Amino acid sequence: MRCPFCGFADTQVKDSRPTEDGSAIRRRRVCTECNGRFTTFERVQLRELVLVKRSGRRVPFDRDKLMRSIQVALRKRPVDPERVERLVSGIVRQLEASGESEIPAENVGRIVMEALKALDDVAYVRFASVYRNFREAKDFEQLIGEMAEDGEPEPPAKPR
């Protein structure tokens, strides 16, 4: 593991322990060259996952990209970062447990939407607007209507 400060390749592990949710190993490291201290997280990867885009293009699955897209949907929402980490870890485990190494990107989007719907309605609507490629206000109205049919409370109307 290279030192993020000086780039030296020889670092020593000073402490290793599992994260609270058990999804990763947290390692405290020290650079033998500059004595810089830093933390790394190592995750077990059950299989190499490849996303198949709508165009047919295949790209390696990127957990960090999944995390970023969920964080964008949750921006300025009162959701604990640990819950977000558990949500992402759960999605990744679900994908790995599917038994498939090539997964259509739309399946990942559907799984993320289901997870966000259970976590935060606003984040769900934000993610859905990108995932479903909303073009007009009526697309939002239709989604809110679907949420109301599913027993979700409708958000209050804005005063005009």
**Same domain for 103 and 131?**
yes
- Shared domain for 129 and 90, answered yes or no, is yes
Q: Is 65 found in the same domain as 16?
A: no
Coil, helix or strand at residue 73: helix
Domain extent for 109: 50-149
What is the pLDDT at residue 90?
A: 92
Do residues 133 and 65 share a domain?
yes
Per-residue pLDDT of the chain (160 residues; tens, 9 = 90+): 899 999 999 999 999 999 887 778 999 999 999 999 999 988 776 678 999 998 999 999 999 999 999 999 999 999 998 899 999 999 998 998 888 899 999 999 999 999 998 999 899 888 888 877 787 878 877 888 888 777 655 455 555 4
CA dist 135 → 108, 121, 127, 138, 140 (Å): 22, 20, 14, 8, 9
Centre a 10 Å sphere on the Cβ of residue 51 and count the other Cβ atoms it contains.
20
Say whether both 15 and 69 belong to one domain.
no
Q: 33 and 69 share a domain?
A: no
Q: Domain count of the chain?
A: 2
pLDDT of residue 130: 84
pLDDT of residue 139: 81
Do 67 and 133 have their domain in common? yes
Q: What is the pTM of this model?
A: 0.65
Supply the pLDDT for residue 151: 65
| Domain contains 154 | no
